[in-house]
Amino acid sequence: MGFKSLLIYIFLLTPFFSYSAVWKSEKTWTEETQKDFSAWMVKEWRKDFFSRKKLSDGSPNIFYGLRLDCADTVYSSKIIFSYYNKYHFAINDPTGGKKLITNEMNRWDKLPEEQRITAFLKLIYNLVSTKSLPNDTYPVALNPKIISPGMVILTTKKNHHSWTIKNIFDTGIPHLIFNSTVGAYSSLNLQERKSWPNGDWVFEDDATPAGSAGIRNWKPQAFISDPEWKVPGYSEDQYKMKPSAWRKNLESMLKIKEESTSNRLKRLVENVCNDIKQRSEAVKEASQFIADNKVSCLNEADFDTYSTPSRDKRLADEFISLKEAYREALTNKDFSDEALIAQLHKIFPQPQDKISVETKAMPAQPVAGNSLCVIKYHSSKSGLDTSIDMAELKRRLFSKTLSSNPNDPEEVRFGEQKVTKDTCPSWGSLELNWNE
């Protein structure tokens, strides 16, 4: 026994004295970390990250079931990467405290590690928002050697939205993973799109550095508490161009090879269709919430969660991008996919006209053989499910008959009929505007 037994006693008692961090970090976040982070984002960050119960190796997904809004999604990408790769993680305390929020927090040291990381994430979700992102990130130069997966896109405060860059293809097109406002009924799936967002929307109201919009990178650990302009790599490039040119400039700067016209159109169709499906899910979630909670009018917080004005604005932007690409393709006569032309013609019968003019002249579009992206909504009035295609949805969207108001029944949300009597209170502007 003797000295040996003393060591054993000390070993056995050690857990009483020790604090456990959320995870034990072995590496600090530096500029070099960006390469590891980019590689991880391309490989691991996906829209079902929080909705799949098992990982590809069959092990349980400890992050299954977490519900995230857009800023939560952005922060999660960095936290989860840091957790899996044992990097130090730190952000500024959004409540104005001097202490950083880090993985060294020992508030949950009685929990096993898997529960500590989810408890940490839940704390972060309660603290962060698009308002805190400017303090933890900085705007980057428009340089193909700099812009990379793992970076973040932030809008101005007016539109308060953010995206993660999962990948950037050789064509200069990004693969973005993001989410919108979520409630208890929201899908666990994140959202995705394969195009840069509309610069007019990203920089709306403030296209200056003060707006904090554009592509931003995480501050290296050594500069985490410094103002953004002190971080090496800080650049105001993005504010020196017109917001309307931001997307095109990005694409042309980042592309290594040309995207074929046919692929471009198919990608943009996919973006529109994704947005339509996500909107459809959001509308159904609102109906479900109202039915389950037996409320006739939503309160302001629930109204904010289930209304869709930003989503509808983004959908309008996607339609406009598709129309512009289609018009350009017709002008250049550089694609000959007859089936696709017929499908697009159903949506845009007068491609040379402004979308509002075209929509006015457009008759109702029934589902047909050349329909794209057919979805169903439930009409509470008739008690039936109704199918609607991309062309008809576009017609209703740009004739302003779709409703972003979550108190409206599905047939009104989808523009089948206009609301006749609106007795519920409404918050914020629900009017759809677009730039063409």
Partner 1 sequence: MNKKIVIRLTFILFAFAALLFLIFIGKKEKTTNLATLDTKPSERLPEKAIAKPVESLTKKPLPKGNTDMRLKVVEDCLQKKWEFSNLTQLKDQILLSESITEESIELENIHFTNINKENYRAQIISTDGRKELRLFKVLADGLPEVVELPSADRINPDSTTLAKYIDWGAVHWHQIQRKLKTALGNTLMIETIDSQVEKLDYHLATGTSLHCLTTECQCK
Q: For the CB of residue 232, give the shortest distance to partner 1 in the complex, in Å.
A: 13
Is 292 a binder of partner 1 (CB under 8 A)? no
Is 366 a binder of partner 1 (CB under 8 A)? no
- For partner 1, the binding residue among 7, 253, 295, 301 (CB under 8 A) is 301
Residue 86 backbone class (left: φ over 0; alpha: ψ -120 to 50; beta: rest): left
List own/partner pairs for 203-206 with CB under 8 A and 24 or more apart: 203/155, 203/156, 203/239, 203/243, 203/246, 204/155, 204/156, 204/158, 204/159, 204/243, 205/156, 205/157, 205/158, 206/156, 206/157, 206/158
- For partner 1, the binding residue among 146, 209, 224, 401 (CB under 8 A) is 209
Q: For the CB of residue 253, give the shortest distance to partner 1 in the complex, in Å.
A: 21
Nearer of residues 73 and 171 to partner 1, judged by Cβ = 73
Is 67 a binder of partner 1 (CB under 8 A)? no
Using CA atoms, how far apart are residues 406 and 399, in angstroms rounded to an integer?
19
Nearer of residues 41 and 213 to partner 1, judged by Cβ = 213
Is 242 a binder of partner 1 (CB under 8 A)? no
- For partner 1, the binding residue among 11, 16, 332, 336 (CB under 8 A) is 16
Half-sphere exposure of 13 (CA within 13 A, CB side): 6
Who contacts 268 (Cβ-Cβ below 8 Å, separation ≥6)? 195, 318, 321, 322, 325
Is 233 a binder of partner 1 (CB under 8 A)? no
Q: Find the binding residues for partner 1 in span 179-208 (CB under 8 A).
A: 206, 208
Nearer of residues 106 and 143 to partner 1, judged by Cβ = 106
Is 387 a binder of partner 1 (CB under 8 A)? no
Is 123 a binder of partner 1 (CB under 8 A)? yes
* Residue window 143-172: x/- pattern of binding to partner 1, with contact defined by CB under 8 A: --------------xx-x------------
Nearer of residues 29 and 234 to partner 1, judged by Cβ = 234
Is 129 a binder of partner 1 (CB under 8 A)? yes
Footprint of partner 1 on this chain (CB under 8 A)? 1-2, 5-6, 9-10, 13, 16-17, 93-97, 99, 101, 105-107, 123, 126-127, 129, 131, 157-158, 160, 206, 208-210, 227, 229-230, 236, 239-240, 299-302, 304, 427-428
